[in-house]
Amino acid sequence: MEEFPELRSSRLILNQLTPNDAEVLYQLFSDPKVVEYYDLAAFTSTTQAAELIELFQSRFATGQGIRWAIRLATSGDFIGTCGFNTWNEKMQQATIGYDLLPEFWNKGYTSEAVEAILSAAFSGQLPCRTIFRIQADTVVGNTASEALLTKLGFSYEGTRRSAGFWKDSFHDLKCFSLLKSERSRTDNRAKN
């Protein structure tokens, strides 16, 4: 198994979740505001958080995905998670997701974390090797996530009607994507 990659940005460290993170992960996913658009109900025990950490570790070990803890660089405090819920090395694509404790919303942390992931993924620095396409799905109404994706250069591809079913309801999902070739053009424009 490959070593879990640690990523850094000016204010953040992205590293592996460990069993020691169960309590803070529980705080994150037990908040109804955080899981409002998620395909899971708010957690009711730290056991659920520990099981989720095991799932993330298993996905990485089997090459199916990767999820980082987002931590403040100054203190190491946990503030959220981000990563690829799935990746497909053969198809050179991945699906991204992210979440943050509400007290850290609207401060640019999610953008900074996702930016670090995009840079690593498109430059081949991750165990999944080459990624050409990164997709994100948002539930209709999640305007904050849509704004984040648009800001980072993702394109809206369309809405898949009733593509998700959780919490006893069908949900329309808006599909966004970013291609490596588009990212390269955006990076080149920023340098000029």
The 10s digit of each residue's pLDDT in 68-117 is 999 999 999 999 999 999 998 889 999 999 999 999 999 999 999 999 99
Identify the pLDDT of residue 186: 52
Q: Among positive and negative, which fits the CA dihedral 41, 44, 49, 55?
A: negative
Among candidate residues 80, 72, 71, 78, the one with its CA nearest the CA of residue 99: 80
Give residue 61's pLDDT. Answer: 93
Spans of the chain, pLDDT less than 70: 1, 184-192
Question: So what's the pLDDT on residue 168?
Answer: 84
Q: Where are the alpha helices (DSSP H) in 124-177?
A: 143-151
Contact indicator for 156, 177 with CB cutoff of 8 Å = no
Q: What is the pLDDT of residue 161?
A: 92
pLDDT of residue 187: 52
Question: How confident is the model at residue 164, as a pLDDT?
Answer: 85
Q: What pLDDT does residue 185 have?
A: 58
Domains of the chain and CATH, by start = 7-191 (3.40.630.30)
